[in-house]
Amino acid sequence: MRTRLLLPLLFTNLLLPLLFTHLLLIPAAARVPAQSSVGEVSFPNSGAAAAQADFLNGLALLHNFEYDDAARAFRKAQEKDPDFALAYWGEAMTHNHTLWEEQDLAAARGALGRLAPTPAARIAKAKTEREKDYLRAVDILFGEGAKHERDVRYADFMASLHEKYPGDPETTCFCALALLGSPENGRDIPTYMRAAALLEDIFYAHPNHPGAAHYLIHSFDDPVHAPLGLPAARAYSRIAPDAAHAQHMTSHIFFALGMWDDVVRANERAIAVVNRKRTAAGKPPQVCGHYNIWLQYACLQQGRFVDARRLLSACREQATKTDSSLHAHGAVDLDTTSAGSVAQMRAQYLIVSKDWKGEVAGWDPGTGTPSFASLQNAYAAAIAAARRNDANAARNSLQELEAVAAGLGPVFDAEGYSAAHPMRAVPGIEAAQVRALLLAQDGKNAEAAALLEGISKEEFSLPYAFGPPDIALPSPELLGELYLAMDRPAEARKAFETSLARQPLRLPSLQGLARAARLAGDRAAAERTEATLRRILRHADKQEK
C-alpha cells in the first residue's frame, strides 16, 4: 500500500519535471510536424522556434519541386534565425533540380557562403551531428569536380546517412532522390528499383509525406512499372493540393498507362494552381510550359483536336508577345521557353491530328539559334511537307533540320550532356525519318523500310523517357504506316505493337494496329482494338468519332 501511494508522488515531484525538461530540449520540428496544403514533414533540428514553420514549409515545397517558393521559405527562416544552418542547406538544395538535369552551382554555393565561407566553418555552425552530416552532404553535391561525379559521390554519401539514420523519413527520401539522380544517361531500371525499395516503407508509414509519394512516382513512371506507382499517384494530389507540380506529377503514372482522362484532369488541376497564384500576384495566366504541353498531348490522344489546337494557339500568342523564357535554363529542354513549348506542341499536334495542309502546318516559326525548339520546328515542317507529298519543301526543311542538328553539339556540351546521353541521338533519328519518307515518295519502299527498321531499333534501345516522346513521331509507328502502304499488314501489326509497348494507348498507333489486324484477317484482335479506340475517343471532336 505504501509503495502504491509513493509512486504518484514520485511521478509528480520528480519524474514529471524531468520529462517536461526533456521535452523542452527536443526541437520543435521533432514534435510538431508541418500540417499544410503542401504535405506533412518532420525534421528535428536546432533552429529557433520562430523559424520552424518557414523551414518546414520550405522543406515540404522542396520535396514537391516547388523550388522558387521553397527558396523564399528558407530565406524567411534565415531571417528569423541567422545561424540556422539547415535553412541555408535548404536554400542551396533548391538550386539542384536533380531529375531535371539542372543545377545552378554558383547560386547554391552563394547560399551556403552566406552561412560561412568554407565547408569546415559551416559544419562548425551546425549544432547537432545530424545537421553536420547534411552540410557534409551538400558540400559534396556542390563541391569540386564534374556534375555527374558529384552526383554519384553525393548519392553514396546519402546512402551512408541512410544506414546511420535508418528510421528517418527525410534521410531516406533524400537518399532515394539522390539515387534517382545518379544515372548519367537517362533511366537506369536497377537504380530506380533500389530507390523504390527505400521509399515504399516511408510512403506507407508516413502517408502524408510529399517526398515519399513524389519520388515513388518517379521510380515507377515507365510502362512496365507504372501499375506499382498507382497508389502513390492516387495519393499525391491529396497530399499536396496547393503544389502545382504535385498535381501534375500524378500524371506521370497515368501517362505511362495511357489513362488519358486522368492525365487531362491532373494537368488541368496543376494549371489551375499555377494560375490562381498568378492571378493573386496580378499576373496573366500561364498558357505555355510543362503542364500545358502534357495537357495538349493527352487531348490529342482523346481525339480532341479542337481543344489541342486552342491550347497551342494560346501558347503561340503568348510566345509572340514576349521573348522572355518561362525559366532561366538552357536550350535543350523544350519546356523552358514559350517558344520551346510552341515548337513541341505544334509538332505533336501535326503528327497526331495529321492536319498536314492546315494553318498550323503553314506557320513559319524559323529555326534561329540552334536549340531543341528550332530542331522541332524544322522537324515538324519536314514531316508535314513529306506527308502532303511536297518533296521540295521536305528537302528544304530537312536541310534546316540537319544544320540545326550540327549546331546542337556545342549546346549539348554547354548543358553538360555526356557523349552517350540519349538526347544526342534525337536529331539523327528525326533526320533519318524524313529521309525515309522521301525514299518512299521516290518509290523506294524497301530502302525506306530498311532505314526505319534500323532507327526503330536505335530509338527503342534508348532509355525510356517519361511524358510526350522526345521524338514526336515514334519510328515504329512510322514503320507500321509504311508497311500498311506496302500491303504488309502482319509486319505493320508488329511495328504498331512495338510502338504501343513504349507509348501505351497512343492514338495513331492504336488506329494503325486496328487497321493492320483487319487487313491481316484477325477479326477478334481488330474488334478488341476498335473497342479500345471507342472508349478513348468518347470525348473526341464530333468529326473524329
pLDDT tens track for 216-260: 999 999 999 999 999 999 999 999 999 999 999 999 999 999 999
Of 186-190, 322-326, 440-444, 473-477, which range is least confident? 322-326
Summary mean pLDDT of the chain: 90
pLDDT at 18: 35
pLDDT at 22: 34
The predicted model scores a pTM of: 0.90
Phi, psi (deg, nearest 5) at residue 337: -140, 155
- 128, pLDDT greater than 80: yes
pLDDT for 450 equals 98
Residue 505 lies in a domain: no
Q: What is the per-residue pLDDT for 330?
A: 52
Comparing C-alpha atoms, which of 102, 63, 432, 494 is closest to residue 249? 63
**To which residue does cell 518557414 refer?**
54
- Statement: residue 324 has pLDDT above 60: no
43: containing domain = 32-244
Ranking 48-62, 242-256, 417-431, 504-518 by mean pLDDT, the lowest is 417-431
The pLDDT assigned to 9 comes to: 36
pLDDT in tens, 339-387: 889 999 999 999 999 999 999 999 877 656 778 888 999 999 999 999 9
Domain annotation covers residue 441: no
Q: Is the pLDDT of residue 33 over 80?
A: no
In a domain, 79, yes or no: yes
Residue 53 lies in a domain: yes
Number of domains forming the structure of the chain: 1
- CA distance linking residue 334 with residue 374, whole number of Å: 10
Contact 410, 402 (CB under 8 A): no
Residue 67 has a pLDDT of 96
pLDDT of residue 24: 31
CATH code at position 108: 1.25.40
Whole-number pLDDT of residue 347:
96
Domain membership flag for residue 488 = no
pLDDT number for residue 349: 98
329: pLDDT strictly greater than 50: no
What is the CB neighbour count within 10 angstroms for residue 406?
11
Q: Is residue 312 part of a domain?
A: no
Residue pair 439/399 in contact (Cβ under 8 Å)? The answer is no
CA distance 185 to 189: 12
Inside any domain, residue 405: no
215 found inside a domain: yes
The fraction of the chain above a pLDDT of 70, given in percent, is: 90
Decide if 180 contacts 466 (C-beta within 8 A).
no
- The answer to whether the beta carbons of residues 84 and 58 sit under 8 Å apart is no
User: Does 327 score more than 50 pLDDT?
Assistant: no
CA distance 441 to 35: 62
For residues 204-209, average pLDDT: 96
pLDDT at 541: 86
